[in-house]
Amino acid sequence: MKRLLNSVKVQQIAQGFTGSIGNTPLVYLKTLSEETGCQILAKNEAANPGGSVKDRAAYKLVTDAIEKGQLQPGGTVVEGTAGNTGIGLAHICNAMGFKCVIYMPNNQSDEKINALRILGAQVRTVPVVPFTDEMNYNHQARRYAESLDNAVWTNQFDNVANRQAHVETTGPEIWDQTDGQLDAFTCAAGTGGTLAGVGMFLKSVNPGIKIIAADPPGSVLYNYFKNGQLERTGDGSITEGIGQGRITANVEGAPIDDAVHVPDEESINMVFDVLAKEGFCIGASSALNLVAAKKVAQQLGPGHTVVTMMCDNGMRYASRLFNKSWLDSKGLLGVLPTAYQSFMYDG
């Protein structure tokens, strides 16, 4: 690990909020590494100033709109988001002098909704409907932006500035922090920006690196990458902000080699495993990524290096993931070891 730690470039003075985005730690996960005989590493994206990997995409989406002349000083940024992109956009809008309006599904955690309001964003929660429905939160965001002067819908799902953020930052950071010594990268896809952007960069410097999509229940991506079919695997998931029912522009053309499916039972166990054994409090999406990294490592065999993403902090989901009543309502309390109940509260 000394080699990895010494390769990280320390930035002495960051230029405000936006200058603090990126250059996050690459963390060696001892327990998973020892269990697999591989080196399993995760980018700790909670270290971003807005607390998640989505700060990267949010900043690129705003600066891309400015560069294209779509957004002028004092304008309004509108987005449809399940939470973290909105939080990143709200921070960035405050830092850069823009207004922020967020449309989001009404099934997201209270922590995310309240965080957006605390940050000054105007939040509009709307019923969950498929993307094909014109009342989908993304379409509502687009129409609202079109109704305003000096406003932009940043369109995180199909604006490839999203994945470009990871081509320019996350991918190069991983390459530098590992000295180019990695065998596979895996993470889940919601917009697909992280998976596609990191994959595109890593493949450009070493085509032999495997890029593996991790997918939750209810999503079509596992079947798409394995069998070329847009068919859902399972009925739905407790994870937030990942999984898809279609191929977004960010995913289209991405160099994905394979996919792994991760059931919720495995993700929720990983939430508590990592907290109890590594000290990291993570959400279900990050946990799914770690389960995927373990599966990929087991497929590759001992002696390989697998990199993934810890997307944000689990405290954003405390009212759900660490709530006994909520876990029980999802049929997940019983799949957890009794010892882990010390990390939960009675809801």
Residues known to be catalytic: 54
Which amino acid type is present at position 214? A
* Distance set, CA 72 to CA 64, 96, 151, 244 (Å): 12, 11, 8, 32
Strands 305-310 and 184-188: parallel
239: DSSP letter: -
Instruction: Give the integer Cα–Cα distance in Å for 267 and 277.
Output: 15
Query: By the 8 A CB rule, do 33 and 64 touch?
Result: no
Q: How far apart are CA 96 and CA 346, in angstroms?
A: 41
Give Rg (Cα) of the chain.
19
Give the residue among 222, 317, 202 at the shortest CA–CA distance from 263. Answer: 222
DSSP SS3 for 222 = helix
